Amino acid sequence: MIKKPWQGRFNKSTHELAEKFSASIEVDKRLFREDIEGSIAHAKMLGKTGIIQKIESERIIKGLKEIQREIETGAFPFREEYEDIHLNIEKRLIDKIGEVGGKLHTARSRNDQIALDMRLYLRGEIDEILNLIKTLSITLLNLASKHLDVIMPLYTHLQRAQPVLLSHHLLAYFEMLRRERGRFIDCRKRVNVMPLGAGAGAGTPFPIDRHYVAKLLGFPEITKNSIDSVSDRDFIIEFVSTSSSLMMHLSRISEELVLWSTREFDFVDLGDEFTTGSSIMPQKKNPDIAELIRGKTGRVYGYLISVLTLMKGLPLSYNRDMQEDKEPMFKTVMTVKSCLEILIEMMRNIKFKPDNMKKAVTGGHTLATDLADYLARKGVPFRQAHEITGEIVRHAEQKGKEIFELSISELKRFSTKIEEDLSELLNLEGSVTSRKSLGGTSKQNVLKMIKENKREISKW
């Protein structure tokens, strides 16, 4: 039986079932780079402060680098009985360089060690997610630039509402992604705080230099309370919460792609590369990738509830329950990155169908609001203009026509304010062009938005 670091206190060895049940190495071994990076910085600090001899520090660092190469090449002998990534590396270090390897754990605990590893890991993953958000945002901007003259129906309640530019619709998602980027940047600030030096929760009597370690590891600040340093995981909760918000927006984009690819809408072709067929129906072309992004959103929501529930009843400071924080963190990272990567490629290859979009926006009386606005500009109170337009819509439906197909003389029966100039305004292009209010769908506005967004994104 393997001797544990705490074995001196116990008369009996850990039961084999308890050994297996409590082991986390299969989950946390992916933190090996962060664990070794943190250990090298810690070893440098121990040597600098004289807590251990510099020659000992150098031997430890050399051994750690050799262990990293072993893990990267698949030669490292991971052992479940050593429980986690920390003890696996520490035991291997002692095997390689002798008892001096045991000095590495001076002035630290696995409690502050794992908190450091996870912060290092999340910091790097957030940077990758931010890069993917930027790439998706650029993709949307490029699509908007390419489809400046395509008009489509804006929907409310999934009913055709008003004409808008497709580019304006795409820019709505750009705005959502901009806010998500801001959330991840804010989250990263709270992740990027160095906890090492808190020990098990009470600090350490050794003359450590936490600021030196923070500098080596690129942390701009260190945690201020040793108990809080090891006992909270709100930085993980915030990351998974921020990821949940991002996934919600990716799911909404995906939902529209699912709808738009149906025969009922027929606004887009997602391409053979991002669709699948049916095992029984030969004609099918299913938007499975978009559906899976939509479905995986539920996973991330579940990970958030998992971590929140994990932490909600824990007294200070560290509790073994917190070993369960890593799996939802890892799986959130994996899910978010994979969804961003596939959505980027799908959007790069999407084919819009402008004729079908225009056909859809031509039907459904989508110019009714323009007619009401016209009457209001003529001095009719808007509520009265709204009622008059509603009567015109009802009349047009009885005739089996769209309101723009009615003659001016026919429209005059509903209001004497209607004149010949209405015909110049009551069309799709006129409707879109008229929406010049800041943030509106006019081409003039959209071109300005694209230009400003491209200038901004160049600084991301």
Residue 133: which of 267, 283, 245 has the closest Cα?
245
Is residue 339 within a helix (H) or strand (E), and if so which, with residue range?
helix 326-349
Dihedral of CA 301/306/307/308: which sign?
A: positive
The answer to whether the CB of 264 falls within 8 A of the CB of 293 is: no
Burial 124-138 (b: 16+ CB within 10 A, else e): ebbeebbebbebbbb
Q: What whole-number distance in Å separates Cα of residue 351 and Cα of residue 269?
A: 5
Q: What whole-number distance in Å separates Cα of residue 429 and Cα of residue 410?
A: 23
Residue 374: which of 433, 429, 428, 434 has the closest Cα?
434
Active site residue 105: no
Active site residue 157: yes
Please pick, among 157, 279, 409, 458, the residue that the annotation labels catalytic: 157
Is residue 20 within a helix (H) or strand (E), and if so which, with residue range?
helix 16-22
Is residue 381 within a helix (H) or strand (E), and if so which, with residue range?
none
Q: What whole-number distance in Å separates Cα of residue 134 and Cα of residue 372?
A: 40
Q: What whole-number distance in Å separates Cα of residue 435 and Cα of residue 119?
A: 47
Q: What whole-number distance in Å separates Cα of residue 197 and Cα of residue 234?
A: 19
DSSP codes joined into one string, 417-450: T--TTHHHHSSHHHHHHH--STT-S-HHHHHHHH
Please pick, among 15, 105, 254, 278, the residue that the annotation labels catalytic: 278
Q: Give the rounded distance of the alpha carbon of 223 from its chain centre.
A: 26
Residue type, 83: E
Burial 394-409 (b: 16+ CB within 10 A, else e): ebbeeeeebbbebeee
Burial 367-378 (b: 16+ CB within 10 A, else e): bbbbbbbbbbee
- Count of C-beta atoms within a 10 Å radius of residue 164: 25
- Count of C-beta atoms within a 10 Å radius of residue 149: 11
What are the distances in angstroms from CA 278 to CA 269, 281, 294, 295, 296? 17, 5, 20, 19, 21
Q: What whole-number distance in Å separates Cα of residue 387 and Cα of residue 390?
A: 5
Catalytic machinery residues: 157, 278
